[in-house]
Amino acid sequence: MTRSRTIPTALAAALLLALSLPAMAQKVATANPARIFNEIQETKDLQTKFNADLGSLNEQRKQKELQINDTKAARDSLKPDTAQWAERNKELVRLAVEYEAWQKIVQADLERQQKLQMKAIFDRITESIGQVASARQIDLVIAEVRPELPDNIDQINTNDLRARLISRNVLFSVPQVDISNDVIAAMDARYKGGTAGAAPQR
């Protein structure tokens, strides 16, 4: 009985002592990595380049499909039991196989480049957040997660809406604690100055 009373008493004493000690003032800030990623100039430039590369690849795709269709039309104009038909059919199969392989290679290469570029940018975001925090003597930066909601919530189902709402990890903060704009400005300045780091090469 004596022991069971001693443990709660000791715990209460420890809590009382902790509360009575002067707490060190700590500065806390938030930063939204997703918003920073979307708004920095480097991301916008990479998206522009990606769209241009995609347009070029689409032109190549159209040319390859046209060549396949032309070869098929030429084969179909011949009699199936002739050597010429067999030769055209062989060429058609080769073009179709090469086209399928080309599509897979292009898709894999695009995904790999996007992954490398995304990781590199997020590494720089983390580094820039640390630099801004250090300059402002901030002790802790919380990564704010705030999924956007559509203007018309009828566009999403109930489960999706619930998931977006409960995934918010910062429910209240004053605008002054958000350093996202400072990080964006710092990263844009470094990027325009040519010190943001080179994009991964193929």
Segments making up each domain of the chain, as ranges: 27-192
Instruction: Burial-class residue 99 by CB neighbours within 10 Å (0-12, 13-18, 19+).
Output: middle
- pLDDT of 21 > 70? The answer is no
Query: How far apart, in whole angstroms, are the C-alpha atoms of residue 168 and residue 106?
Result: 36
Residue 196 banded pLDDT, cuts 50, 70, 90: low
- pLDDT of 1 > 60? The answer is no
Measured CA distances, 62 to 40, 48, 108, 111 (Å): 34, 21, 19, 21
Query: How far apart, in whole angstroms, are the C-alpha atoms of residue 160 and residue 148?
Result: 11
Q: Which two tokens stand for residue 88?
A: 């055209």
29-66 residue pLDDT tens: 999 999 999 999 999 999 999 999 999 999 999 999 99
- pLDDT of 198 > 50? The answer is no
Query: CB pairs under 8 A, 24+ apart, for 114-119?
Result: 114/50, 116/200, 117/46, 117/199, 117/200, 118/37
Q: Which amino acid is at 147?
A: P
CATH architecture of 27-192: 2-Layer Sandwich (3.30)
Mean pLDDT of the chain: 87
- Calculate Rg over the CA atoms of the chain: 30
> Scanning the structure block, which residue is given the tokens 């957040």?
129
Instruction: Burial-class residue 183 by CB neighbours within 10 Å (0-12, 13-18, 19+).
Output: buried
